[in-house]
């Protein structure tokens, strides 16, 4: 039991360490937009559950609250190129998750384009690859909170 708690604590600390104190200003009344420096450039991570309805690939109407501040930051940085990566959790068919993540990356790129972001965007559907946190608890049972963290969009503003 102690080793399980230790593992979970370390996993959470590791995830928290990946979060940056660098917080660009968010638009008034919008959710906070967070970024972190990476070797590629400045990366913004957004929860997919707040951008899409269920297992859909199209950006939802409610996504504007999250994507508008992102578009503003990208325009302020005068980005020359973006990488948009979309991730899923490990539930369901791996091939379907890969296809869904690619569709979502394309949808976010299109949304940004239609909202004034001129930088070309490479779209990468990552599917289940590179989970931010474990999708399952130490005993192997699904971890809905972990799965939710893994369903994410990462937008990297290249250096």
pLDDT in tens, 61-71: 999 999 999 99
Of 8-17, 61-70, 115-124, 134-143, the one with minimum mean pLDDT is: 8-17
Domain 2-158 maps to which CATH number in 3.40.190.10, 3.40.50.2300, 3.30.1330.60, 2.30.110.10? 3.30.1330.60
pTM for this prediction:
0.79
Residue 23 has pLDDT above 70, yes or no: no
- Spell out where the chain has E strands: 35-37, 41-47, 82-87, 121-127, 152-158
Residue 72 has pLDDT above 60, yes or no: yes
Question: Which of 90-117 are b and which e, b meaning 16 or more Cβ less than 10 Å from the residue's Cβ?
Answer: beeeeeebbebbbbbbbbbbebbeeeeb
Binned at pLDDT 50, 70 and 90, residue 31 comes out as low
């Amino acid at each position: 039991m102690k080793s399980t708690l230790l593992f979970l604590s370390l996993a959470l600390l590791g995830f928290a360490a990946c979060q940056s104190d660098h917080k660009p200003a968010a638009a008034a009344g919008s959710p906070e937009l967070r970024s972190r420096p990476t070797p590629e450039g400045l990366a913004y991570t957004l929860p997919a559950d707040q951008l899409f309805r269920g297992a859909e690939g199209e950006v939802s109407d409610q996504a504007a609250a999250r994507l508008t501040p992102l578009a503003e930051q990208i325009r302020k940085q005068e980005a020359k190129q973006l990488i948009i990566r979309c991730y899923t959790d490990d539930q369901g068919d791996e091939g379907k998750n890969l296809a869904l993540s690619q569709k979502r990356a394309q949808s976010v790129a299109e949304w940004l384009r239609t909202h004034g972001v001129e930088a070309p965007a490479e779209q990468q559907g990552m599917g289940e690859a590179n989970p931010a946190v474990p999708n399952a608890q130490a005993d192997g049972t699904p971890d809905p909170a972990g799965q939710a963290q893994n369903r994410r969009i990462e937008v990297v503003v290249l250096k």
